[in-house]
Amino acid sequence: MNKPFNFFAAVLIFTLGLASKVSAQTDCSCWQQRDTSFHYVPFLGCTPPYYRNDDSYTGAIQLPFNFCFWGQEMDSLFINNNGNITFGQSDGVYSPDTFPTNSAPPMIAPFWGDVYTIGGAPGTNVVLYKITPHYMIVQWDSVLAYSGENSSMTNSFQVIITDGTSPIIPPGNNVEFCYKQMQWTTGDASDGTDGFGGDPADVGANKGDGSTALQIGLFDSPTANYVGQYPPGSSYDGVYWLDNRSFLFNLCSGTIDPLSSGISPCDTIKICVTDSIIIPIYFLAPSVGDTDWSNLSGTLPPGVSVVGNYPGPTDSLHVKVVGTLYNYGPHTINVYAYDNAVPPDTTFTSFVVQIDSVNPTAVITAIKDTVCEGDTTTIAVTGVTNAGYKWSTNATTSSINVSPTVPTAYSVTVWACGTKKLTKTIQVYPRPVVKISGTPLKCKGQKDTLTASGGTTYLWSNGSTDSTYITHDINADSTFKVVGYALAGCGEDTAQITVKLRIPPVINFNIPIACEGTPVELKANAAGLGPFTYSWSPSEATTDSINIIDSNVTYTVSVTNGCVTTKTTTIVPYTPPLNACCDKLIFMGDDTILTASGATKYKWLNTGISCDTCPTITVSPTVTTTYTLTGTDSSGCSTQQVVTIMVELPCSNFTVPNVFTPNYAGSTGQDNKLYIKTTSGINAWSLLVYDRWGKEIFKSTSPTDYWDGTTEAGSQAPDGVYYYIIDASCEQGNTYKKDGFIQLIR
């Protein structure tokens, strides 16, 4: 099992002991700075200039050189948005596989993960490339993870491939991976959450045959811990371990030498006499189960020794260098590493250690420490020769010309054995750009407060030297002027403002005819200099008009254009003088005349009306009926009146005999019952018959239900006198009541 180690700690040891680190040649820099020779990768189906996308890829890109890939000469490739380049076909897969695999095309993957380049500031979250006759560079610069477009986590990584002859990477190699800051590993579509979890990102190269590959690691945690190329289970590598790292290797042959990390032939490490450093150097085994061994080779200069050598899947070699007068000057240190393959694969690399004995005595000066905005001054380093420089402006000369627009601190780091950082602050006084703020319009009699800005001192046209100036009462258009001066003689500027007299708005109402119960629009017509704002009472409306329905209500509107005018009006509802005549009582079958007056248009509502728009109509209702009349005048206002015609049937009294003979029908055949003669139109009836002791012996609720002389029990009532009570009513509402005596004779 590989032993985890903390790369950040290793880098810290290296940095603290390192006096300086410079490149032997410009092309040796791992991360290649962009210039006009770089272009945005033209992903298919995407919009220039940035070609932002999710999971896209290019068409085949022709190479002006042959790239050796496990014995095959490749002259074209595809760039895929998701952190890799492929040969033979493109690949938009966003969830990476573990190498080796035959489910993906031949691939070189500096960081295979779900890259999402949609969104971001111009020039960021982009993929770029550069092709020359001998090498190609592809950069993923500050790219996001899928669904992480609102996240601040970005990754920056790069791959360089060569034909093996370009000095852009050290001899013997044809691929280099380079990393800046790395902050995420997984997109949401790969079961990730907040940039981690799910399918780990893969770093390495894959031949595509399912058995041949180089895997540097599987990354899926926000740490700097490195478990190894093939971490066990879900204990994946930490992505921060990749920060500022680079990896060199050769994919040409069938086997791969151990991968070096931490040092390169481009490095020159300077230390001073009496100083010492420990340089960590790492070698990664190229295949699963391999072990690496490393050491220094050749004759070592005095003061150089190995203080730690830890073979394993990740070999760690710690070299100590002590600066003395006996090893003064430059020395090349050769390093080798080999693995347990048969025959073993061996990697050779070297770096330079330079022992210096002169500490910098540099000082920093400026021709002018204080300048006006837009002026130029020179800052120079003196007191040291044969030194290296690095300014905060990225200049590397002993002096620089600067034109700051704000107070700026410029720093320079001087290398001459040890390092020395110097800082010089240039104070900048701005040139005045004077402005006056105030209210350009004022109501009559008001004062205005004017404020000058953009200068250091001021002089108003009335002699005031304050930055704030309170005007006189504004009763006419008035102009005010101020001169502003800057410090250090950096000039003057003049500004003026005219405060105009604002006229209050004039309000006219459009007074509508307000028909009773009908909403109307009351509008305030404002005239004058706008814009206007409105406020109504008792309504809370803020528009120029309101809809009202309330009668006899006073409405007030306030109109403002900076000055306020208020006006009031009362809306009185109007009702046409409609008259409908007249309520009457008629008998069924009769007719009557209804008349209307007071309006210009009429509308009668009910059935049985021959002319429903005439002012005079004749009606013949058969029942009591209410007629509704709607009248409309010339202004369009309407009102209603009702007329009720009551209809009564000719319902009169009824006849009750004083004798009836149940056993003898008589000549009419009606005397054998108590026959009561009635008229039509009876809608209620009650007949009660009592014997001489007051006992009820018969009851009827229908005028055609007659007493046949029997008791309630059904037996014959004896001869004698009986008492009756009759209650009845007609359909017109008339009521009748009658009582008396009847003689029963058998």
Give the pLDDT means over successive 10-residue stretches in the chain (746 positions).
28 28 41 92 95 96 96 96 98 95 97 94 92 97 81 92 92 91 94 92 95 92 88 87 89 82 72 84 82 91 93 90 87 91 84 78 89 91 80 91 92 80 90 91 90 93 92 91 90 93 90 81 89 91 87 88 90 85 83 90 86 91 90 88 82 78 83 81 85 91 89 90 88 77 90
Nearest one of 612, 587, 613 to 600, comparing CA atoms: 613
Residues forming beta bridges with residue 86, ordered by sequence position: 78, 107
| This model's pTM is above 0.85 | no
β-pairing, 592-597 vs 616-619, is antiparallel
Query: Which class does domain 659-744 fall in?
Result: mainly beta
| Contact predicate 371/485, CB 8 Å | no
Residue 191's pLDDT is 92
> For the chain, how big is the Rg over CA atoms in Å?
55
**435-502: CATH architecture:** Sandwich (2.60)
Q: Which helix (H) or strand (E) holds 16?
A: helix 7-17
Residue 264's pLDDT is 67
- Hey, what amino acid is at 573? P
Nearest one of 706, 670, 713 to 689, comparing CA atoms: 706
d(CA 15, CA 279): 9
Distances (CA, A) of 77 to 45, 61, 106: 18, 5, 10
Distances (CA, A) of 17 to 78, 140, 270, 596: 43, 32, 10, 115
Strands (E), 343-387: 346-356, 363-366, 370-372, 377-382
Residue 650's pLDDT is 60
- Hey, what amino acid is at 198? G
All residues at 6 or more sequence positions from 107 whose CB lies less than 8 Å from its CB, including other chains: 84, 85, 86, 87, 91, 205, 206, 208
Query: Which class does domain 259-356 fall in?
Result: mainly beta
d(CA 326, CA 334): 20
Q: In the chain, where are the structural domains located?
A: 32-249, 259-356, 363-429, 435-502, 506-563, 579-648, 659-744
- Rounded to the nearest 5°, which phi and psi values hold at 354? -120, 125
Cβ neighbours, 10 Å, residue 135:
25
β-pairing, 696-700 vs 370-372, is unpaired
Strands (E), 430-571: 435-437, 441-443, 449-453, 457-460, 468-470, 478-485, 492-502, 506-510, 520-527, 533-537, 545-548, 553-560, 564-571
Token code pair at residue 117 = 């380049």
All residues at 6 or more sequence positions from 365 whose CB lies less than 8 Å from its CB, including other chains: 379, 380, 382, 424
Query: Which class does domain 579-648 fall in?
Result: mainly beta
**363-429: CATH architecture:** Sandwich (2.60)
Residue 514's pLDDT is 80
Q: What is the DSSP string of 520-538?
A: EEEEEEEESSS--EEEEES
Q: How far apart are the first and last CA of the chain?
A: 135
| Contact predicate 204/107, CB 8 Å | no
All residues at 6 or more sequence positions from 323 whose CB lies less than 8 Å from its CB, including other chains: 271, 272, 273, 274, 275, 276, 303, 355, 356
Residue 50's pLDDT is 94
Alpha helices in 566-668 (DSSP H): none
d(CA 255, CA 537): 91
